[in-house]
C-alpha cells in the first residue's frame, strides 16, 4: 500500500485535514448561495413573467403556442382554456399554459 500513499503523508494523519472545522460549513453555504442566485432565482423570475403573460391574454390577441401554432384568440374561458382561430375555418382549443408569446398585432397577415 505504500506504493500509492507515501509514508510521510500517512504518518501525518489528522493534521492534513485542515485547521478550521467550520470550513466545510462555509463552503456548503457558499455553494448554496451560488446555486440559489445562478439557478433558482432566474427560474422563479421566468415563471413569474410567464404567469403574468398568461393572465394578460385577451380576446383578439395574436399568440404563438409552444407547439408552433400562430393564431388569434377568439374566446377565453375561466377554466384555463382558450380558443385560437388559426384561419377563417380552423379553430383549436388549448390550455392557456401552452402560450409561448403574445405577438404584435398584424403578425398573422405578415406571414
Give me the mean pLDDT over the 41-49 stretch. 93
CA distance 40 to 31: 13
Per the CB < 8 A criterion, the answer to whether 101 and 64 are in contact is yes
Answer yes or no: is pLDDT of 75 > 90.
yes
Residue 9 or residue 103, greater confidence? 103
pLDDT reported for residue 7 = 58
Q: What is the model's pTM?
A: 0.64
Give 65's contacts (C-beta < 8 A, 6+ positions apart): 71, 84, 94, 98, 99, 100
Amino acid at each position: 500500500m505504500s506504493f500509492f500513499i507515501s509514508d510521510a503523508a500517512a504518518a501525518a494523519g489528522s493534521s492534513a485535514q485542515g485547521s478550521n472545522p467550520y470550513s466545510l460549513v462555509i463552503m456548503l453555504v457558499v455553494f448554496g448561495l451560488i446555486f440559489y442566485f445562478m439557478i433558482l432565482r432566474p427560474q422563479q423570475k421566468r415563471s413569474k413573467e410567464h404567469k403574468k403573460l398568461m393572465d394578460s391574454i385577451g380576446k383578439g390577441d395574436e399568440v404563438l403556442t409552444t407547439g408552433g401554432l400562430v393564431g388569434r384568440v377568439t374566446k377565453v374561458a375561466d377554466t384555463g382554456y382558450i380558443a385560437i382561430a388559426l384561419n377563417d375555418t380552423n379553430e383549436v382549443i388549448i390550455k392557456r399554459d401552452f402560450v409561448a408569446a403574445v405577438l404584435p398585432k398584424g403578425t398573422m397577415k405578415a406571414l
